[in-house]
Structure 1
Amino acid sequence: MVPGRVMITALVVSMAVVVGCGSADDAPTPTPAPTTVQLPPNQVAGVPLPDDAVDRAVAKLDELAAALMESSRIPGMAVAVVHGGETVYAKGFGVRAAGTQEAVDADTVFQLASVSKSLAATVVAHQVGTGAIEWTTPMVSLLPSFALADPATTAELTVGDLFAHRSGLPDHAGDRLEDIGFDRAAILDKLRLEPLDPFRISYHYTNFGLTAAAEAVATAAGTSWEQLSDDVLYGPLDMSSTSSRFDDFQARPNRAVGHMRVDGAWVAEAVRDPDAQSPAGGASSSVNDMARWLAALLGTGTADGTTIAPAQALLPAITPQVISAPARAPQARAGYYGFGFNASTTPAGRTDYSHSGAFALGAATNFVVIPSADVAIVALTNAAPIGIPETLTAEFADLVQFGEIREDWRALYEQVIAPLNDPVGDLAGKPAPTNPAPAQPLSTYPGSYANEYWGPAVISEDGGELVLTIGPAQQRYPLRHWDGDTFAFEPSGENAPPGSVSSARFTDDGLVLDYFDENGLGTFTR
């Protein structure tokens, strides 16, 4: 798509004026008729809202949330709805940590995961509104050190390109660098080594691409991203429980602990520190705080007299900038992405904007805004993604627009989201060879294997087995023999769900690690 700020279409207003008839001598003074405001055709929904649509939908939320909690057994969830500029529903369900009696309420703080992107876009919209930057500002003018593999792309790349995931970077580029301990600066620098797809016509969701753009905006403002978010969004909207710092989340006494599903039970097994990708996934908040932000979105940048971003600066973020999900049939609707927001059309012919967030280590979140109904809903959970917040917000949206739930959203979202929890690696789910070729003597393999992207992979021998050590965190993976010069290891972290198994294949002059070879960058030279 061609970059640039989306132009605001003026409202079409038709005036019906009734004029009296008579002679010039006795003509009465004309009385203007009431003004009739007509929406432009592209703002007219296909289906009118049912009577008392929002109130009736809100009245069903207790029942819907309780049913989802019961069927999924997730530990906790919080939900809020905004309508008419007010929070009309805010409630917690379940517990903050499994096995405790610490109840979730509307002030319980959850990790937002990728819902952070929409908050980040709002911060950038503020900066656009002040004239500090534009969505079309080139990255090189804000962060000269940032580069991608293609110099021409680097020269043209804008803040908006990265917030729309249309830079050409591969899907989730840089995420596995974070898992092995690289910090934000190192990961952003290494993005220049990633292969690129065509610029501005490829959509690939990238946490660190968006993070780079946010970092550039903060650098231009002379502060950190975390502080900029406090100064222009969280502080002005009195979002006192919201932060883009992991330490702040950890310090909240009323916070939800992340849970993974292990052997059918929800357990708090790991802690997700997303500081490296804070703009894309590192924010935390309560539904009471999120409701204040949603009110500002429904107010096109303004809530309770406080303007976070003028409408013309926010509009590009919440309207389509790139096709994110091409239609697969002539009768199907395509999906679109704005700048940090999904921007689509509902089955009722109404525009909406939304975002989901997910940590495999224990968070699933979602919000949906339907501006023509003046309503928004947010649902936050402390469990790995299985579609629960999306199901609740979709059911609510159906009730608002149709007065009934029209789809089996739970089954649909389970199907769509299930792959997020699938094990990864070329050996996942495969039985070990029954008659493997023998390995060479273990003393053959130890050494340091170089790789510009991942850094050195060190192979050592420990207690009669090989161990792979990689990354600044010195992540250790025991290797077990598989077949010949191929060994197996079990990657771990946010991007390796339980059951993941990868090969480590030794060659004459190096080592290929399948888990780290997703974009052809997994060859290490001895």
Structure 2
Amino acid sequence: MGRGSATALVGAATAAALLCGCGGPAAAPPGAATAALQTTTPHSRATATPQATPSAQATPSAAPPAQPPPALGPAAVAAAVSGLDGIARDVMRRTGVPGMAVTVVYRDRVAYLKGFGVRRAGSPGAVGPDTVFQLASVSKPLATTVVARAVGQRAGGSRAVGWDDPVVRHDPGFALKDPWVTRHVTLADLFSHRSGLPDHAGDLLEDLGYGRRHILERLRDEPLGPFRARYAYTNFGFTEAALAVARARGLSWEELSRTLLYEPLGMRSTSSSFAAYARAPDRAALHVRVDGHWEARHVRDPQAQSPAGGAGSTARDLGAWLRLQLAGGVYAGRRLIERSALDRTYLPHILSAPPTAPYGRPGFYGLGWNVTYDDLGRLQLGHSGAFRLGAATNVTMLPSEGLGIVVLTNGEPVGAAEAVALTFLDVARHGRPTVDWLRLAGAAFAAMERDERPATDYGRPPAHAAPARPARAYTGGYANGHYGPLTVAQEGGGLVMRLGPKPLRLPLRHYAGDTFAYLTPGENSVGLDGVRFIMGADGRAAKVTVAGLDHTGLGTFTRRPSS
């Protein structure tokens, strides 16, 4: 998704993770489900970490112990599973998403495993249980499963890594803007998006074509918010934490995830390498909607942020991962992950989505998981992933019930994956869908899309706009310490801006006066955005601000003296 939502549908706040069955037969008043959906919006910014008051800490509750909620019995789950074919087909019919794969695990058994539709629109190849999909941000809970195993393992009688280790202990070259934060920020801080880095720091550098090392080094340029007090979703902060763990083990991230998780679980089609996905013969292409139909237009290489959004997997393989999660770190009778290390990932570490209504429910972020609680107080964990360029995925679990579902799709985010998961859980809980989850999730995604658009419609210049100056007033080279060089040249009667290491060629169209517009590139594209030239005393531009790069004040480029 774009700015404010995510390259990989913003983990904090996706419908699947935070819409926790708040419909229910006895449920919420009208609008409650909508309010819950609103709490999933990735734009949410937590302003403080909840803390218990001293009196609350000192005084035990006088209330009797709460009774555990009634379990979801095998009959209820079987009924929900029997309806999954219809749920999936209905969502695909209503959205047109070309392909989908679904797996359900219940009490350490794969209860459902099926593919629907095609891998590529217009081609005959069918989606099956072994079709490889790009997971986008469902890579995050997969990654913290890897790290939980590393944390639980001992080396030389002591733990090689711990969730509360400062990142610099394992990566001495890592730095943020504030030296104190650099010394104190931990792996858990970065895995829970509470480091103070701004929302989606680094993602725009990826869109320009920069590689992993360059992007991680540039995190030190970003202005920091309050440390451990505000949630802001950062793919590259998350990536840095995972790479620090791999460095501590003397491996690449791709090797670490393979040796600690994928191989022990027999996940033969799963990888943290884009190259492995790209060469898989049975793989799902990415699709976007174009004039009401779906097209496979784009390739999305997320290798730079592999731990956060770059894994590829199948419904069958992810069923094995769900079994491991729901069995508390045990797989096929063998303990692979220390229970305490895995449990830490499930705890709320930061408020990610404050309630928007009196009857609303807050959402939290753990370590790679959205954390919330359903109507009966049961822990519900989830994460969605999305590439605006054509993928949407979801995992949702009720650990106390041993129940989890994964939904993979090969279309841009329209709420399809979330709708299948939430409708299934609704039927398991209540015997029927209590709300139209596709309508709610689809509306939430559409709202995110609208909110990300620039306030100015650069496609419609003002009727009486001031003319542009001669081209030479704007052409030349400009420098920026964060985004690198920018050049503006006259080509074919118009101006062209070039940015990035390759670089990208971005034509400029005149808007008004010294302001032009360009089509923003990559996963975070928001359509046309502005380019404003600031003129010097000599009548030539001294600076240029690229609005699409200026979300944290780093988007101004200064003319080079020789240019």
Match of 1:481 in 2: 510
Residues 168-215 of structure 1 show CA distances to partners (whole Å, capped at 9, x for unaligned) of 111111101001111111111101111111000100011001001011
Structure 2 residue 467 is matched with structure 1 residue 438: yes
SS of the residue corresponding to residue 392 of structure 2 reads: strand
Gaps of 5+ in 1: 4-39
Residue 308 of structure 1: how far off its partner (Å): 3.0
3-state SS of paired residue (1:492)? coil
Instruction: Supply the AA of the counterpart residue of 1:159.
Output: L
Look up the SS of the partner of 2:300 in the other structure: coil
Aligned to 1:461: 490
1:125 aligns with 2:148: yes
Tell me, yes or no, if the aligned pair for 2:143 and 2:242 is still in contact at 8 Å: yes
AA aligned to 1:475 is L
Cα distance in structure 1, aligned partners of 2:263 and 2:149: 13
Correspondence for 1:104 among 109, 113, 127: 127
Q: Detail structure 1 runs of 4+ shifted over 4 Å in the superposition.
A: 40-43
Are 1:496 and 2:519 matched, yes or no? no
Identify which range, 394-403 or 510-519, moves more after superposition.
Answer: 394-403
TM-score of the pair, normalised by structure 1: 0.90
How far, CA to CA, are the matches of 1:344 and 1:362 in structure 2? 27
Matches within 5 A, 1:211-222: 211-222=239-250
Q: How far apart, in 1, do the equivalents of 2:445 and 2:171 lie?
A: 35
CA distance in 1, matches of 2:334, 2:282: 27
Match of 1:89 in 2: 112
- Helix, strand or coil: the match of 1:137? coil
Residue matched to 2:438: 410
Distance 2:477 2:160 in 1: 47
Q: Report how far residue 43 of structure 1 moved.
A: 7.6
Q: What amino acid is aligned across from residue 231 of structure 1 in structure 2?
A: T
Given candidates 479, 488, 507, the residue that maps to 1:450 is 479
Q: Which amino acid aligns with 2:317?
A: D
Q: Please name the residue that 1:514 is paired with.
A: 547
Q: 1:506 to 1:425 in 2, by over 3 A?
A: farther
> Displacement, 1:445?
1.4
Q: How far is the alpha carbon of 1:339 from its aligned partner? A: 0.2
Equivalent residues of 1:426, 1:514 under 8 A apart: no
Shift in CA distance, 383/429, structure 1 to aligned 2, threshold 3 Å: farther
Structure 1 match to 2:11: none
476-485 or 292-301, larger mean C-alpha shift: 476-485
The one-letter code of the counterpart of 2:125 is: E
* Code of the aligned partner of 2:68: V
SS of the residue corresponding to residue 52 of structure 1 reads helix
CA distance in structure 2 between the partners assigned to 1:419 and 1:215 by the alignment? 34
Bigger Cα displacement from structure 2, 51-60 vs 290-299: 51-60
1:269 matches 2:297: yes
Matched residue, 1:523: 556
Amino acid in structure 1 at the alignment position of 2:517? A
What CA distance in whole angstroms lies between the structure 2 residues aligned with 1:329 and 1:249? 42
- State the alpha-carbon separation in 2 of the partners of residues 169 and 250 from structure 1: 32
Residue 424 of structure 1 and its aligned partner are, at CA, apart by 3.3
Question: 1:250-295 deviations in whole A, cap 9, x for unaligned?
Answer: 1111000000111111111110000000000000000000000000
Q: Secondary structure of 2:204's partner?
A: helix
- Are 2:289 and 1:226 aligned? no
Q: Which amino acid aligns with 2:463?
A: T
AA of the residue aligned to 1:80: T
The answer to whether the 8 A contact 1:348-1:401 is kept is: no
> How far apart, in 1, do the equivalents of 2:290 and 2:447 lie?
16
**Larger deviation, residues 302-311 vs 137-146:** 302-311
Given that residues 384 and 393 in structure 2 are in contact (C-alpha distance below 8 angstroms), is that contact kept between their aligned partners in structure 1?
A: yes
Partner of 1:339: 367
Deviations 1:85-136 (A, max 9, x none): 1111100000000001111011100000000000100011011101221100
In structure 2, C-alpha distance between the alignment counterparts of 1:229 and 1:186, rounded to whole Å: 22
Counterpart CA distance in 2 for 1:58 and 1:276 is 37
The amino acid of 1:247's aligned partner reads A
Which of 330, 346, 350 in structure 2 is aligned with 1:322? 350
How far residue 437 of structure 1 moved from its aligned partner, in angstroms, is 1.1
Aligned counterpart, 1:148 = 176
The equivalent residue for 1:241 is 269
Amino acid at match of 2:494: E
Paired residue for 2:10? none
| Letter of the 2:130 counterpart | D
Distance 2:379 2:341 in 1: 18
| CA contact 1:489–1:504 (8 Å) conserved in 2 | no
User: What aligned pairs does 1:1-20 form with structure 2 within 5 A after superposition?
Assistant: none
**Comparing 342-351 with 228-237, which one deviates more in the overlay?**
342-351
Query: 1:347 Cα deviation (Å)?
Result: 2.2
Distance 1:475 1:42, change over 3 A: farther
2:384 and 2:200 map into 1 onto residues whose CA distance is: 15
Q: 1:414-439: CA deviations, max 9, x gaps?
A: 12112444463454465112222122
1:159 equivalenced with 2:187 (yes/no): yes
Which residue identity is paired with 1:201? A
- Cα gap change, 1:502 to 1:305, in 2 (>3 Å): farther
> What SS does structure 2 have at the residue aligned with 1:390?
helix
Structure 1 residues 227, 2: CA separation in 2 closer, same or farther (over 3 Å shift)? farther
Q: Distance in 1 between matches of 2:367 and 2:122?
A: 40
* CA contact 2:107–2:401 (8 Å) conserved in 1: no
Indicate the structure whose relative CO is greater, using CA pairs within 8 Å and at least 6 residues apart.
Answer: 2
Task: Quote how far apart the aligned CAs of 1:328 are.
Answer: 2.5
SS at match of 1:480: strand
- Aligned equivalents of 1:475, 1:458: Cα separation in 2: 10
- Say whether 1:375 aligns with 2:398: no
Is residue 34 of structure 2 the alignment partner of residue 49 of structure 1? no
Percent identity of equivalent pairs? 48
Give yes or no for contact 1:94–1:104 (8 Å, CA) kept in 2.
yes
Match of 1:206 in 2: 234
| C-alpha distance in 2 between matches for 1:43 and 1:211 | 40
2:317 to 260, 271, 289: 289
Uncovered stretches (5+) of structure 2, i.e. residues with no partner: 1-48, 52-63, 154-158, 537-541
Note the C-alpha offset of 1:51. Answer: 6.5
Pairing of 1:166-181 with structure 2 (within 5 A): 166-181=194-209
1:8 is matched with which residue? none
Task: Count the aligned residue pairs.
Answer: 488
CA deviations 1:279-328 (Å, max 9, x no partner) are 00000000000000000000111111343311100001022111111122
Q: Tell me whether 245-254 or 485-494 shows the greater mean CA deviation.
A: 485-494
Query: 2-side partners of 1:515 and 1:448: how far apart?
Result: 19
The equivalent position to 1:259 in structure 2, one of 287, 298, 319, is: 287
Specify the alignment match of 1:304 in structure 2. 332
Per-residue deviation, residues 374-406 of structure 1 (Å, max 9, x unmatched): 111000000000000101100111112222211
Residues 366 and 379, structure 1, Cα contact 8 Å, conserved in 2: yes
Question: Which of 70, 77, 96 lines up with 2:93 in the alignment?
Answer: 70
> Could you say which residue in structure 2 is the equivalent of 1:12?
none
Cα distance change on mapping 1:306 and 1:460 into 2, 3 Å: farther
Distance in 2 (CA, whole Å) between partners of 1:137 and 1:2 is: 23
